[in-house]
Amino acid sequence: MVDVVVVGGGHNGLVCGCYLQRTGLDVVVCEQSGKLGGGARTDETVPGYLFDTHSVAHNIINMTDIPQELGLAAVGLEYVEMDPFAVGVFADGAIVRFHRDVERTVESIRAVEPADADRYRRFVHDARPLVRSAVAGIEAGASWRRRVRRGPGRVVAGVQALARNGGPQALVHQLVSPYAAVLTERLTSDRTRAPIAAFAAHSSASPAAPGSAFYGLWQAAYHLYGQWHARGGSQGLTDALERRFRRLGGTVRTGAAVARIDAPDGRVRAVGLESGERIAAPVVVTAVDPRTALLDLLDPPLAGRAAEELRAAHRGNAVQMLVHVAVDRLPAYRGARAGDYNGLQSYVDRLDDMTAGFAAADARRLPPDPVPTYAFTPSALDGSLAPAGHHTVYLACPSAPYELDGGWDDQAESFAERMIDQVECRAPGFRASIRGRALRTPPMMARELRWPGAHPMHLDISIDQLAWMRPTRALAGHATPVRGLFITGAGTAPVGGVAGSPGRAAARAVLDRHGTPRRGRSATERRALS
């Protein structure tokens, strides 16, 4: 018998495992695939070129103290800042650069769209306290010392948010609005609106979705906290977490898909693997889609009101379609500067184009032309990802349908060509630079990662499924009605994305319920956890 089994070896599962293992518990992480990481993996999808298979840029985990608490730098994690964190590359050759420094950004906007320069400064100024308040919530599971230390700042941020955004009624109205409405109200031109929308679309939320305003306002977070590339790709974070976990004494099992969680009398007894093996444990933490965990894997399944609420949790049909493009030179944008390749490169000319893309996905259709597309070129910051003189272009459409009328098999290639068109018209000669490519359709990612609906957040991060309501109000504390069973992962509180805080919060919930063990606990004492 072990003390804890963590089901799922993504970054949240590993974070949870590290925090539990370092207290003296005996923790086993079971990952269904042959490699840890989940959405934070980097693979050689084109021979000789390493591509992130989902997440590229990390910011939320760097707003927390998790990397410092777990000493990840000491086990090889290195982050490189992406500055500018985004550029808007328009079909007519215009480029707007969004630097970490607000004033540099304002001057870049002024050179292209003078009317929006001061408006953008005000937009970021008003959004900053909202972001600071949200970051305090993101730090779920943080030590009480850190929470106390941050308490006064959170109060100040709350007061500033009200003062800068017109008081309680105006602020509530803004937060329940679609981000298209907020961007249209605050800014005059698609030169600024469209690149902001390209980053906001990482939420898998349409610009027209009610309650999505915060994803547009989150633009201020990149100015406050930066955007970061893990050296070696997202795998750099995963590998550091694995090394820390193993050094703490934890056990990793890859190729160990969990088929069921045995809880015959309302308390966890073991997990059963697809291989037929059974691992007995009094505590199980699932770091997979919470609906899969509690309604499919749990035996017997969750029942009653808690199950009904979880069953009603929602995810949309719009997810990512990726094209990994290996090239012998970076895209030759007209008027490009060296730093333009550091962060996200938006190819969205109009906010309405992004809205149309999501509307098409909801209707199970491919987005119309021009396809909402953006790129990352992480090899510009990290030469370990490509052969000398060559580069990796991570090309993404954030509004591709998971369920597609007619299916993906006969439409993926032509859609990838339409995405490449968006680069070619901004960087003539891009097609001639291509040395290889790999397509990653939504169904492919769903199969590989066992993500229902290929949704990277498991569930929408809509206003009704955030923080203390994620995945539902009853389950937001990470404990479940089944004794010894806890949940974590992108579909749990406080938020999805590369955050780590759901993993730390779940570890805290386990320790709050079962106490902090002392090292050297005997097998008899471990069994007493149950």
The residues near 173 (Cβ < 8 Å, ≥ 6 apart) are none
pLDDT digits (tens, 9 = 90+) for 147-202: 667 677 777 888 888 889 999 999 999 999 999 999 999 999 999 999 999 999 98
Contact by Cβ (8 Å): 240, 77: yes
Convert 259-294 into a string of H (helix), E (strand) and C (coil): EEEECCCCECCEEEECCCCEEECCEEEECCCHHHHH
- Distance of alpha carbon 379 from alpha carbon 229, whole angstroms: 10
208 and 133 within one domain? yes
CA angle 100, 106, 108 (to 5 degrees): 90
- Pair (134, 202) in one structural domain: yes
208 and 301 part of one domain: no
3-state helix, strand, coil in the chain (%, to 5): 45, 20, 40
- Separation between Cα atoms, residue 339 and residue 104, nearest integer Å: 13
Question: Is 366:381 a contact under the CB 8 Å cutoff?
Answer: no
Tokens of 483: 């004794």
Whether the CB-CB separation of 395 and 324 falls below 8 Å is answered with yes
If asked whether residues 248 and 292 sit together in one domain, one would say yes
Q: Cα–Cα distance between 280 and 269 in angstroms, integer?
A: 6
Inside any domain, residue 354: no
H helices present in 80-178, as ranges: 102-112, 114-138, 144-164, 167-175
Q: What is the pLDDT along the chain (530 residues), one digit of tens a residue?
A: 999 999 999 999 999 999 999 999 999 999 999 999 999 999 999 999 999 999 999 999 999 999 999 999 999 999 999 999 999 999 999 999 999 999 999 999 999 999 999 999 999 999 999 999 988 888 777 776 766 676 777 778 888 888 899 999 999 999 999 999 999 999 999 999 999 999 999 889 999 999 999 999 999 999 999 999 999 999 999 999 999 999 999 999 999 999 999 999 999 999 999 999 999 999 999 999 999 999 999 999 999 999 999 999 999 999 999 999 999 999 999 999 999 999 999 999 999 999 999 999 999 999 999 999 999 999 999 999 999 999 999 999 999 999 999 999 999 999 999 999 999 999 999 999 999 999 999 999 999 999 999 999 999 988 899 899 999 999 999 999 999 999 999 999 999 999 999 999 999 999 999 877 654 444 433 443 33
Identify the CA nearest to 401 among candidates 456, 457, 319, 460. 319
Kindly state whether residues 212 and 264 are assigned to the same domain: no
276 in any annotated domain: yes
268 occurs within a structural domain: yes
Regarding whether 277 and 199 lie in a shared domain, the answer is no
Q: Identify the domain boundary among 224, 253, 286.
A: 224
CATH (domain of 20): 3.50.50.60
104 within domain boundaries: no
Is 351 part of a structural domain of the chain? Answer: no
Q: Answer for the pair 83, 343: CB distance below 8 angstroms, yes or no.
A: yes
Name the β-bridge partners of 252. 29
Give the number of other Cβ atoms within 10 Å of residue 112's Cβ: 17
Taking the C-alpha atoms of residue 110 and residue 104, their distance in angstroms, rounded to an integer, is 10
- In whole angstroms, give the CA distance from residue 333 to residue 38: 33
Nearest to 196 by CA among 107, 83, 94, 86: 86
CA-wise closest residue to 194 among 373, 401, 59, 378: 373
Residues 187 and 168: their CA atoms lie apart, in Å, by 22
- The candidate with the shortest Cα–Cα distance to 501, out of 488, 486, 512, 484, is 488
Report how far residue 476's alpha carbon sits from residue 530's, in angstroms, rounded to the nearest whole number.
22
| Structural domains counted in the chain | 2
Cβ-contact 391, 292 below 8 angstroms: no
- Taking the C-alpha atoms of 66, 67, 70 and 75 in order, what is their torsion angle to the nearest 10 degrees? 160
Question: Do residue 125 and residue 207 come from a single domain?
Answer: yes
- Domain containing residue 475: 4-40+60-77+232-314+455-527
Residue 328 placed within a domain: no
Where is the domain boundary, 224, 256, 278? 224
- Domain match, 144 and 184 both: yes
Residues 220 and 129 in one domain: yes
**Over the stretch 42-101, which tens digit does the pLDDT of each residue have?**
999 999 999 999 999 999 999 999 999 999 999 999 999 999 999 999 999 999 999 999
Whether 409 is covered by a domain: the verdict is no
Is 94 a domain residue? no
Neighbours of 11 (CB within 10 A): 32
Report the pLDDT value the prediction gives residue 516, as an integer from 0 to 100: 73
* Same domain assignment for residues 132 and 214: yes
**What CA–CA distance (Å, rounded) separates 91 from 348?**
9
Bridge partners of residue 273, in order along the sequence: 258
Global confidence as pTM: 0.95
Do 475 and 515 sit in the same domain of this protein? yes
Under a CB-based contact definition with an 8 Å cutoff, are residues 224 and 131 in contact? yes
Task: Tell me if residue 394 falls in helix, strand or coil.
Answer: strand
Q: Which of 162, 190, 224 is the last residue of a domain?
A: 224
| 12 backbone dihedrals φ, ψ, rounded to 5° | -70, -40
* Cis previous bond, 471, omega within 30: yes
- Does residue 251 share a domain with residue 179? no
Quote the pLDDT of residue 520: 45
DSSP letter at 50 equals E
Reading the block at residue 471, the tokens are 């995945």
Contacts of 210 (CB under 8 A, 6+ apart): 176, 177, 178
